[in-house]
Amino acid sequence: MYIYNVTSNIAESVHEEWLKWMQETHIPEILATGKFTNARIIKVLVEEEMGGVTYSVQYTANNKEDLNKYYDEHAEELRGKVLKKFADSIVSFRTELEIISDH
């Protein structure tokens, strides 16, 4: 299994709005692509020098093929929605993680 991880720092002024929008709109849209089995929002417990609040949003895919299909078919459009709504208030980076084992 793979995790598509998006770590974002959100300005405190829009933090609550972003969190609600992620839970009610953005994550459901990503899950509706059928490429991920679940998603979780994790608050990063670190004080950033630049301020803001940092979160890791993790989407679980069954395989690399599903993740690649997400990139090819949906990622640009869905990333665009985030940037349109929170352009000057968010900084994000993305990583891929492979689950080796669960215990």
Nearest to 37 by CA among 27, 46, 45: 27
Nearest to 21 by CA among 66, 30, 34, 3: 30
Q: Beta strand pairing status for 90-98 and 53-61?
A: unpaired
pLDDT for position 46: 85
pLDDT for position 48: 79
Residue 10 · residue 92 · CB < 8 Å: no
Over the chain (103 residues), the average pLDDT of each successive run of 10 is 96 96 98 98 89 96 97 96 94 94 91
Structure tokens at 24: 């009610």
Q: For 2-98, CATH number?
A: 3.30.70.100
pLDDT for position 70: 97
pLDDT for position 19: 97
The pTM of the full predicted model, rounded to 2 decimals, is 0.93
